[in-house]
Amino acid sequence: MPLVVIGDPGVLARADEVVGTRLALRPIPSVDRAEHTPGTVDVIAGSDLPDDLPRGTLDARAGAAAFQYVRQGIRLPERRRTGAGDRTDQQRRPCAWPESPTPGTPSCWPICPAPPTTR
């Protein structure tokens, strides 16, 4: 299954050493640059934590970084809804059915699900 990780490349590399997965970490600037190559994890750098950050203990820097990873992940679909990203104008369309989250507005263009089918 293709995936992109948002995290700290250094922390991910140290975790890889600990568990011995031997995965290659490939830094990417955005999701649309992911290659999804087997044995490689595409990583969007969400922080640059220090190498000496202690493992297994609470640390405010790690907590703040984790918050930012989640926040950045939440904002990825938002970028696509607003047209920032790799979607073309032809792929954006207003939602026309009444059950859509925001009918007829640009905010739902790329994520608008197909209209419900009637039986």
- Same domain for 57 and 108? no
Q: Band of the pLDDT at 79, cuts 50, 70, 90?
A: low
What's the whole-model pTM score? Answer: 0.61
- 31-52 pLDDT, tens digit per residue, is 889 999 999 999 999 998 999 9
Distance of CA 51 to CAs 9, 68, 96, Å? Answer: 10, 18, 51
**Model confidence at 1: pLDDT above 50:** yes
- Same domain for 37 and 18? yes
- Same domain for 30 and 74? yes
- Same domain for 17 and 43? yes
- Same domain for 55 and 113? no
| Number of domains within the chain | 2
- Same domain for 115 and 67? no
Q: Which domain holds residue 36?
A: 4-86
CB under 8 A, 24+ apart: contacts of 55-58:
55/14
